[in-house]
Amino acid sequence: MTGWTDSGYDATGRADADDSLRRLAATQAGFFTARQAVGHGIAAHDFAERIEAGLWIRVETELFRLSDSPRTKFDEFAQWCTWYEGEAVVSHQSAADLHGMGHLQPRFLHLSTPDQRTVPSNRLALHHRTLAEEDCEVVGAFRITTPARTAVDLAAGGVSQEVLDELVGDAIALGRVDSDQLHAAVANQPAAVADRIELALLAAG
């Protein structure tokens, strides 16, 4: 990182800490938490000078972003997944929207996480649970439930059968899921959920 030596930062320890944090932040769309910064060797009392120098932006109390990070339409997803430090997955209506399944236009950002902390935003709809790795995939700077898992979650969550039929039909038409994957996804689900997925498959032809 340039600029630290001229600002009174040595070219070894502190520069290395900032470079290390920058590499992490690059995988999170430029976002990082206070705990991640400290874990990479930057003391909490040094945060303010980086903000004042215009290098960091404070997004939330414990969440920051590198000021030169490019903005995208997916920033809000990356922001809140970073807040949970890898313990959150975009799911349910939000996952369906990102996958191009149906036309739900969710009012909230749906995340699944085992983390029970209170989040400083009323934009989030949280589903407290732990997902298997095979139920998730990586999209850019965050994780999202697979189309099959998304369809099963919404079938269990009570969307109408008409809406579910459209979601499943879109996923099949886009080549994102097939009947075998959906059958596997409902293998351990209640019979009512499996029946709803089967009806959606029948509607999709």
Q: Does the pLDDT of residue 3 top 90, yes or no?
A: no
What's at 151, amino acid-wise?
Answer: A
Tell me the average pLDDT of the chain. 92
| Per-residue pLDDT, 15 | 75
Q: Would you kindly state where each structural domain of the chain is located, as residue ranges?
A: 10-66, 74-204
Kindly report, residue by residue over 143-173, the tens digit of the pLDDT: 999 999 999 999 999 899 999 999 999 999 9
- The beta-carbon contacts of 188-193 under 8 Å, at least 24 apart in sequence, are 189/152, 189/155, 189/156, 190/156, 193/152, 193/155, 193/156
Longest Cα–Cα distance of the chain, Å, equals 67
